[in-house]
Each structure stands twice: as structure tokens, then as C-alpha cells.
């Protein structure tokens, strides 16, 4: 059981990937971070001595503060945030506890430099991969990430001019690799391999590459994705609607894949 004003690694992992995930702030000192430059999914680094400056941005959010061992830095920073009216907890065991639980850590060098929302760019009129990838980025990398949907021929040039990260287009750092779709390459490159994400990736790959033999659920994902595309002429509106779809797919992949459905009331007694 987690101690007072703390959350266990496994309890935090249950929240990551869902709309209820807390804001995660990593206050490790530089020396500790550079010894193992990986982050808990969605964590942002922030100096512990400057935590008060972050308080305004955290107003109304639930916050989990992380340090190396879950002791003085995270406990102190969380306590200071609580004096500002913010619901803040420390991660029990810190980064060491997270690693000991064998939970995913994202290589910091593989994600864009932090700011007020990272910027990503891809082809317009998305269907499957170009909605699934933004979902993965917002739920496991940067909840404030922004996405530009532009003509295919302009993606790489816009990425260069606007310091954005291109994806799902030839020549981009994140795109298809053989039989793998861009969602797969993001999961691999960002070390986001869990049973739920692997199961989800198989369905997305099957739907995106027209290989429905890989996962029977692919036909349903394709149907819903085409329907979303037809229902929304605005790509950003489609993305927001698609976030709900992929939230549901994630919960199925994590908790509900063994569940079926029938109508017992329709059976003769």
C-alpha cells in the first residue's frame, strides 16, 4: 500500500494512457538524470528549486512528482505544490521503484525538446495511423502535443521550418518500416512496449495495412475510422473524436479483450 501522499508505480501505470492520467513532473537532479536519461511516460523535467514557478500551469490538475528514490526532492516538491492548492503526490520509490517494477521508460533523446506542447506534422485527411499516432503521443509522450495536418508534399518542409517532428510520411523520422506501421515504430523507438500496447498495435497494423487476418478487430477499427473521416471535414475535429475511439481501444486491449456479448433476454426460458 502506498504511503500518505504517495502513489505506487503500478497504480500510476494504471492511469497513464487514460484521460485520467496525472501530470508527471520529474525533479531529479541533472547528475541522476544523465546517468540514465529516460523518463516515465509523459513526465516533464523541472528543477526542484523552481517548482513554485510551475504551480500556475498545474492549477486544477492532479500531479505526481518523481525523483530518483521518492524521498526528499519529490516529497518536498509535492508538499510545496500542495501549499498552492494543487493535488500533488510523490511516486513511491521514485524512478528506482519504477524501474524495479519493470515499467516502461522513454529514452529522452528520442522525443522532441520539451516546451509548451511539442509540435508534430503529418499528412492531412487522416484515417488510422495518423489518428492512432497522435493518440499514442498525447497519452504516453506529451499530453500537450499539437498536430499539424498538411498536404503530403509539404510535410517535411513544414517540419523543418517550424521545428516540428514529421511522422507517417516517407523520409520522416517516424514512419512505416517494412510490415510495421508508424504506430509500431513509435512504440519500438520510444520503448513503449506493454501487453496492452502490443495488442493494440496489432489491431492498428492490421487495419492500416489491410491485413485483417492479423486481428479480427481490424475490420471494426477500419469501419469506425472511415466513418470518422467522413463525419469530419476538419482534421483537428476528427483527431479529437478519434482520441475517444483510441481511448476505448486501449481499455479493450488492457482490460477487456476476453469479454464477449450476447443478449440473454432474447433466449427462450
How many beta carbons lie within 10 A of that of residue 80, not counting itself? Answer: 16
For residue 48, is it within any domain? Answer: yes
Does residue 118 sit in the same domain as residue 235? Answer: yes
Please tell me the predicted confidence (pLDDT) of residue 266.
57
pLDDT, one tens digit per residue, over 187-224 is 999 999 999 999 999 999 999 999 999 999 999 999 99
Question: Please, is 247 exposed, middle or buried when counting C-beta atoms within 10 Å of its C-beta (0-12, 13-18, 19+)?
Answer: middle
How many domains are there within the chain? Answer: 2
List the domain range (segments joined by +) for residue 86. Answer: 6-108
Does residue 161 sit in the same domain as residue 233? Answer: yes
Q: What is the pTM of this model?
A: 0.95
pLDDT, one tens digit per residue, over 54-88 is 999 999 999 999 999 999 999 999 999 999 999 99
Query: 464477449: which residue's cell?
Result: 260
Please tell me the predicted confidence (pLDDT) of residue 235.
99
3-state secondary structure of 109: helix
Cell triple for 93: 520509490
Does residue 54 sit in the same domain as residue 133? Answer: no
**pLDDT grade, residue 268 (50/70/90)?**
low
Instruction: State yes or no: pLDDT of 4 exceeds 90.
Output: no
Please tell me the predicted confidence (pLDDT) of residue 265.
64
**pLDDT grade, residue 38 (50/70/90)?**
very high
Mean pLDDT of 170-188: 97
Does residue 128 sit in the same domain as residue 247? Answer: yes
Please tell me the predicted confidence (pLDDT) of residue 40.
98
pLDDT, one tens digit per residue, over 118-168 is 999 999 999 999 999 999 999 999 999 999 999 999 999 999 999 999 999
Does residue 140 sit in the same domain as residue 83? Answer: no
Query: What number of CA atoms fall less than 13 Å from residue 146's CA on the CB side?
Result: 11
For residue 261, is it within any domain? Answer: no
Does residue 131 sit in the same domain as residue 199? Answer: yes
Instruction: State yes or no: pLDDT of 3 exceeds 80.
Output: no
Q: What are phi and psi of 24, to 5 degrees?
A: -110, 125
End-of-domain residue from the set 80, 108, 136: 108
CATH no. for residue 50?
3.40.250.10
Please tell me the predicted confidence (pLDDT) of residue 177.
97
Which segments of 162-234 are extended strands (E)? 165-166
CA distance 50 to 14: 29
User: How many Å separate Cα 212 from the centre of its chain?
Assistant: 25
Does residue 20 sit in the same domain as residue 43? Answer: yes
Instruction: State yes or no: pLDDT of 263 exceeds 90.
Output: no
Instruction: State yes or no: pLDDT of 183 exceeds 90.
Output: yes
Cell triple for 267: 433466449
Does residue 140 sit in the same domain as residue 25? Answer: no
Does residue 138 sit in the same domain as residue 28? Answer: no
Does residue 216 sit in the same domain as residue 171? Answer: yes
For residue 140, is it within any domain? Answer: yes
Instruction: State yes or no: pLDDT of 257 exceeds 90.
Output: no
Please tell me the predicted confidence (pLDDT) of residue 185.
98
Average pLDDT, the chain: 95
Amino acid at each position: 500500500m502506498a504511503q500518505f501522499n504517495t502513489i505506487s508505480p503500478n497504480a500510476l501505470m494504471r492511469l497513464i494512457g487514460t484521460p485520467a492520467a496525472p501530470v508527471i513532473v520529474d525533479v531529479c537532479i541533472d547528475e541522476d538524470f544523465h546517468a540514465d536519461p529516460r523518463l516515465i511516460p509523459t513526465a516533464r523535467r523541472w528543477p526542484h528549486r523552481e517548482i513554485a514557478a510551475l504551480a500556475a500551469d498545474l492549477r486544477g490538475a492532479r500531479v505526481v512528482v518523481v525523483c530518483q528514490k521518492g524521498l526528499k526532492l519529490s516529497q518536498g516538491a509535492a508538499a510545496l505544490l500542495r501549499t498552492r492548492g494543487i493535488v500533488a503526490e510523490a511516486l513511491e520509490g521514485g524512478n528506482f521503484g519504477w524501474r524495479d517494477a519493470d515499467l516502461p521508460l522513454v529514452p529522452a533523446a528520442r522525443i522532441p525538446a520539451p516546451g509548451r506542447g511539442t509540435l508534430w506534422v503529418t499528412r492531412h485527411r487522416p484515417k488510422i495511423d495518423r489518428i492512432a499516432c497522435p493518440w499514442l503521443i498525447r497519452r504516453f509522450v506529451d499530453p500537450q502535443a499539437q498536430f499539424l495536418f498538411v498536404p503530403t508534399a509539404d510535410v517535411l518542409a513544414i517540419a523543418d521550418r517550424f521545428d516540428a517532428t514529421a511522422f507517417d510520411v516517407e523520409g520522416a523520422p517516424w514512419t512505416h518500416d517494412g510490415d510495421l506501421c508508424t504506430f509500431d515504430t513509435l512504440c519500438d523507438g520510444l520503448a513503449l512496449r506493454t501487453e496492452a500496447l502490443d495488442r493494440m498495435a496489432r489491431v492498428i497494423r492490421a487495419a492500416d495495412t489491410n491485413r485483417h487476418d492479423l486481428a479480427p478487430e481490424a475490420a471494426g477499427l477500419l469501419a469506425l475510422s472511415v466513418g470518422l473521416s467522413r463525419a469530419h471535414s476538419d482534421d483537428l475535429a476528427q483527431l479529437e473524436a478519434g482520441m475517444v475511439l483510441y481511448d476505448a481501444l486501449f481499455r479493450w486491449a488492457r482490460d477487456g479483450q476476453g469479454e464477449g456479448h450476447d443478449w440473454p433476454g432474447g433466449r427462450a426460458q
